[in-house]
């Protein structure tokens, strides 16, 4: 089928719910309304109110209840309406979701997929544009994925549904309807923990994910640079092998993400390259990311978000070193 990311995720959920009668969706406005972005559209009519659950407005309750369901043999898919509001369930995620397997020496585990829209660029109100991946990758124990294409979105969701672990599934709002792609109708998996090489090249390695992936690809194409572009797809656990091979291949590394620069995924990626490929680099590792403070109101977002110009000038700088 030819679909955008929103349709791909909807289809993945549909297939997984058909396959696993213990899978349920729960969240705010996901039923009758089909979700504020319509990601769950049609599933309420198809699977009914017992499996597509409109919950009270309570994020800690949504995630905490989902954890209980997972402990009792179900495979819940809680949706947090926007990533900011997932912070109200931070304790459930970090104190429980991250730890259950470890603290029971795998006697218990939490098969669940926590879905939430992330990132900005679409002029939304305050608290609707967060890029929270680093918070949830940091403790360990929670798998964090962030697709940037419809194909990856469907395949990663299905892989997550077949896993016996909590997976945080981050969906860039801006990409929901940005472009369509041919996607297989049937079930398929995109492996979790594996980065994808978007483009092979020799002069510079650009490591990115989420909203920035398509912007990076555009810049690279426009500038006609020979860039090796890696889309992480999974933030935790990182595909270190693909990262290090990519870094060694060109000797020049740029990491691009939308989340703030400081203490972000870029720092982790850079540290690993410094640890394992330092002597094969021809220039310092560079980061292009948002400035080190919270996402602004929509009127300022154009001055905050990394854009093509900024990525382009970082590429020029790295290539001139």
Partner 1 sequence: MLKAIYSGSIDYMQIMDENGTLDSGLVPKGLTDQMLVEMYKKMSFARALDAKTLSLQRQGRAVTYAPLVGEEAVQIGSASAMRQGDIFVPSFRQHGVYLTRGLPLEKFFIYWRGFEEGGAIPKEVNGLPVIVPVGTQVPHSAGIAYAQKYKKTGAAVIVYVGDGGTSEGDFYEAINFAGVFKLPLVVIIENNQWAISVPRSRQSAAETLAQKGIAAGIKCVQVDGNDVIAMYRATSDAINYSATGPTLIEAVTYRMSMHTTSDDPTKYRPDADVEAWKAKDPIARLMKYLVGKGLWTDSMESKMQDEQLKLIDEAVEKAEQFKPDPRSMFENVYSFMPETLKSEEDEAIAAGFWQG
Q: What residues line the site for partner 1 (CB under 8 A)?
A: 28-29, 31-34, 36, 54-61, 84-85, 87-88, 123-128, 261-262, 291-293, 296-300, 302-304, 307, 309-310, 313
| Contacted entry of partner 1, ligand TPP, none for residue 99, CB cut-off 5 to 8 Å set by kind | none
Shortest distance in whole angstroms from residue 57 CB to partner 1: 4
Q: Which does 203 bind (CB under 5 to 8 A by kind): partner 1, ligand TPP, none?
A: none
- Do residues 60 and 91 lie in contact, with contact meaning Cβ atoms separated by under 8 Å? yes
Stretch that binds ligand TPP, among 65-73, 80-88, 208-216, 310-318 (CB under 6 A): 80-88
Instruction: Please provide the DSSP assignment of 175-188 as one string.
Output: GTTT--EE--SS--
Tell me 295's DSSP state.
-
Distance CA 152, CA 149 (A): 5
Strands, E assignment, the chain? 2-3, 23-27, 52-54, 75-79, 112-118, 143-145, 166-172, 181-182, 196-199, 204-208, 227-231, 234-236, 253-260, 286-290
Q: Which does 309 bind (CB under 5 to 8 A by kind): partner 1, ligand TPP, none?
A: partner 1
Q: Is the link from the previous residue into 302 a cis peptide, with omega within 30 of 0?
A: no
Closest approach of Cβ 119 to ligand TPP, in Å? 17
Contact 135, 98 (CB under 8 A): no
Could you tell me which stretch among 64-72, 81-89, 192-200, 207-215 binds ligand TPP (CB under 6 A)? 81-89
Binding partner selected for residue 303 from ligand TPP, partner 1, none, CB under the kind-specific 5 to 8 Å limit: partner 1
Among 57, 271, 278, 321, binds ligand TPP (CB under 6 A): 57
Query: To the nearest whole angstrom, how small is the minimum distance from the Cβ of residue 53 to ligand TPP?
Result: 15
At 209, list the tokens.
């994910």
128 catalytic? Reply is yes
Q: Which does 54 bind (CB under 5 to 8 A by kind): partner 1, ligand TPP, none?
A: partner 1
Catalytic residue, candidates 75, 96, 127, 128? 128
**Measured from the CB atom, is 88 or 244 closer to ligand TPP?**
88
Residue with Cβ nearer ligand TPP (35 or 155): 35
Q: Are strands 181-182 and 143-145 parallel, antiparallel or unpaired?
A: unpaired
DSSP conformation class of 1: -
| Among the listed residues 20, 54, 85, 248, the single contact to ligand TPP using CB under 6 A | 85
32 interacts with ligand TPP by CB under 6 A: no
- Identify which of residues 38 and 276 has a Cβ nearer to partner 1 in the complex: 38
33/221 with CB nearer partner 1: 33
**Contact call for residues 291 and 258 (beta carbons, < 8 A):** no
Least separation in angstroms between residue 84's CB and partner 1 is 6
Identify which of 52, 144, 143, 136 has the alpha carbon closest to the alpha carbon of residue 89.
136
Judged by CB, which is closer to ligand TPP: 85, or 90? 85
| Rounded Cα–Cα distance for residues 276 and 248 (Å) | 9
Q: Are 169 and 122 in contact (CB under 8 A)?
A: no
- Selected from 13, 25, 28, 43, the binder of ligand TPP by CB under 6 A is 28
Give Cβ neighbours of residue 230 (< 8 Å, ≥ 6 apart).
Answer: 195, 196, 197, 198, 205, 206, 207, 208, 242, 243, 246
Stated length of the chain: 321
Interacting residue ranges for ligand TPP, rule: CB under 6 A:
28, 57, 59, 81, 85, 88
**Catalytic residue annotation:** 128
């Amino acid at each position: 089928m030819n679909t955008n990311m929103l349709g791909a995720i909807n289809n993945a959920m549909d297939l997984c719910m058909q396959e696993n009668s213990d899978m349920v969706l729960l969240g705010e406005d996901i039923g009758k309304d089909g979700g504020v972005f319509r990601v769950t559209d049609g599933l309420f009519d198809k699977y009914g109110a017992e499996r597509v659950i409109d919950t009270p407005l309570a994020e800690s309750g949504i995630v905490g209840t989902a954890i209980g369901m997972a402990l009792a043999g179900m495979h819940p898919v809680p949706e947090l309406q926007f990533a900011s509001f997932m912070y109200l369930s931070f304790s459930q995620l970090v104190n429980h979701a991250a730890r259950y397997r470890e603290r029971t020496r795998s006697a218990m585990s939490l098969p669940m997929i926590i879905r939430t829209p992330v990132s900005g660029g679409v002029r939304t109100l305050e608290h609707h544009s967060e890029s929270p991946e680093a918070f949830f990758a940091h403790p360990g124990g929670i798998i964090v994925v962030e697709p940037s294409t419809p194909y990856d979105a469907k395949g990663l969701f299905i892989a997550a549904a077949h896993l016996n672990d909590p997976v945080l599934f981050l969906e860039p709002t801006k990409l929901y309807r940005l472009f369509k792609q041919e996607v297989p109708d049937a079930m398929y998996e995109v492996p979790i923990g594996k980065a994808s090489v978007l483009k092979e090249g020799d002069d510079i390695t650009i490591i990115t994910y989420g909203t920035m992936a398509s912007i990076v690809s555009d810049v690279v194409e426009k500038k006609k640079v020979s860039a090796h572009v890696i889309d992480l797809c999974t933030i935790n656990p990182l595909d270190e092998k693909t990262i290090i091979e990519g870094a060694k291949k060109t000797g020049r590394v740029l990491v691009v993400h939308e989340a703030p620069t400081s203490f972000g995924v870029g720092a982790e990626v850079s540290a690993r390259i410094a640890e394992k490929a330092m002597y094969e680099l021809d220039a310092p590792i560079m980061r292009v990311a948002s400035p080190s403070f919270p996402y602004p109101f929509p009127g300022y977002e154009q001055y905050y978000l990394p854009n093509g110009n900024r990525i382009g000038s970082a590429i020029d700088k790295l290539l001139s070193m």
